[in-house]
Amino acid sequence: MGERFGKIVLVMFALCALASAVSAAGLDVNSFNYEPAPVRPGSAFDLWVHVKNDNYTESTEAVFELEVDYPFSIGSQSRIVYLGTMKPYQITVVKFTVNVDPSASDGAYVLYAKVGHEKKVDKKVPITITLTTKKPVIEIIEGAVVRAAPGDEAEAKLLIKNIGSSLATDIIVSVLNDRTVTSTGVVVEREILPLGASATYLKSLDAGEQQEVSLLLGINNDADLKTYTVPISITYYDRDRNSLSTIAYVGVKVTGNPELDSVISDGKGGIYLGRTAEMRFDLFNVGIATAKYVVVNLESDVLTITEPKQFIGTLEADDFDSFKTNVQVKPGVMPGKHSLTLKITYKDQENKEQLKIIPLTFDIVAGAPAGEDGVAAVINLLILVVIILAIWFVGSKVLPIPGPGILLALVRKKKR
């Protein structure tokens, strides 16, 4: 009985050793990697699978099989690779070049690695591959500088391009007509709004393709003179009809020009020969922008100007200023209509120096102003009477006092 029991124990030990030997020959997929990642449809990638003998005994006639299904294929490569004998804990790398069907969409797809020994697979390990489809990306890559004055219309010409890697369809480019709501609930409309058709439609743009579009913009009358950022919405679809969108921005410079003009406000009636006169000028800005650092230079061929250069400073839109100077007619100048020139230098809204030349006409008149001859005659008569009285007072002891008749006769003689 004891001998029989001993044999049974020996048999059991033998079976356990055999089972241990069999299990010791087990293979496993230790790890895997692929490149490039992520994988794009229509391309190929390299797959490396690391097969390891996890046990302390040799694995004879080790075998590897790659199970592929849509959207993967390996062309003419054999799916089965014989690895031969693998020593305990040995790692062997198997490489495949895997093709991806162009019609595949985004997502995670599974390949299966099968391993075994003695030319029989006995383990199946999933390998997950992530696919990212090619995407179109529409951007504004160029735009002409948009300049306009308040109340004007402006055309924004934009060059858009598909900088992505696949076709974009049903592209709509439009001005994003949003509004601002203040903290008090007041709705503030944008100063720049689309006019007419507020959007432009393109049927498609392939990868790398570009096209010019234009949008008509209207500038509000009360828009400030500054640069505005106008949001442009671009919506489109990829080849799987997924909706995509982006927001781009275009700068619009609302600008205007100062318009300076001048008139002679005092002295236009005439400058008299041989006399110094004061001329006064009114300078005004009828434009919609401010003129800065305004300087006036007066030039004339017929006048000597006391202060030919005048600094005005800043002249706001719809504003005016005045300045004056003394002038005198140059010798040899004949009476009649003559002109002088105002040369006005200033800096405009963009801080660029400008020059405005304004010719002004005035008269040069011979003799004294009307009424001045009568006043001079009276003054001369009074001077004569004073002289006669002085002579009489000095010589009163010798000469008789002149009577009224003598004085009257002298005055009449003077008038003649």
Question: Among the residues of 152-259, which ranges form H helices?
Answer: none
Q: So what's the pLDDT on residue 79?
A: 93
pLDDT > 80? residue 185: no
With b meaning 16 or more CB within 10 Å and e meaning fewer, what string describes 107-119?
Answer: eebebebbbbbee
3-state secondary structure of 216: strand
> What is the average per-residue pLDDT within 283-296?
92
Q: What is the pLDDT of residue 18?
A: 44
Alpha carbon distance 358, 331 (integer Å): 25
| pLDDT, tens digit, 9 for 90 and up, residues 346-373 | 998 888 999 999 999 999 888 655 444 4
Indicate the angle between helix axes 404-415 and 372-394, nearest 10 degrees: 140
| Spatial separation of the C-alpha atoms in residues 65 and 78, rounded to whole Å | 9
Task: Give the mean pLDDT of 96-117.
Answer: 90
Which position has the token pair 């109340």? 151
User: Over the stretch 290-305, which tens digit does the pLDDT of each residue have?
Assistant: 999 999 999 999 999 9
Q: Report pLDDT for 147.
A: 86
Query: In the predicted model, is pLDDT for residue 102 greater than 70?
Result: yes
- State residue 199's pLDDT score: 86
CATH superfamily of 138-254: Immunoglobulins (2.60.40.10)
CATH T-level fold of 25-131: Immunoglobulin-like (2.60.40)
Asked if 101 and 47 touch (Cβ cutoff 8 Å), the reply is no
* Nearest to 116, CA basis, from 105, 124, 108: 124
Domains 25-131 and 260-365 share a fold: yes
Mean pLDDT estimate for the chain: 82
Q: What is the pLDDT of residue 415?
A: 47
pLDDT reported for residue 404: 53
- Burial degree of 149 (CB within 10 A; 0-12, 13-18, 19+): middle
CB 99 within 8 A of CB 76: no
Residue 288 above 60 pLDDT? yes
Query: Is-above-0.75 flag for pTM?
Result: no
Q: Look at residue 280 in the predicted model and tell me its pLDDT.
A: 93
pLDDT at 276 over 90: no
Out of 6-10, 143-147, 287-291, 367-371, pick the least confident. 6-10
pLDDT band at 37 (very low <50, low <70, confident <90, very high): confident
The domain ranges of the chain are 25-131, 138-254, 260-365, 373-415
Out of 88-97, 190-199, 286-295, 331-340, least confident range: 190-199
Main-chain dihedrals φ then ψ at residue 8, nearest 5 degrees = -65, -40
Rounded CA separation 214/81 (Å): 61
Q: Which residues pair with 92 in a beta bridge?
A: 51
Specify the fold of 260-365.
Answer: Immunoglobulin-like (2.60.40)
Contact 129, 74 (CB under 8 A): no
Lowest mean pLDDT among 73-77, 150-154, 268-272: 268-272
In this structure, of 56-65, 192-201, 223-232, the range with the lowest mean pLDDT score is 192-201
Q: Name the residue with higher pLDDT: 412 or 61.
A: 61
Judge whether 131 and 38 are in contact, CB under 8 Å. Answer: yes
pLDDT tens profile 323-339: 999 999 999 889 999 99
* 288, two tokens: 């919609």
- Give the span between the Cα atoms of 205 and 244, in whole angstroms: 14
Element (H, E) at 249: strand 243-254
Residue 383's contacts (CB-CB under 8 Å, 6 or more residues apart) are none
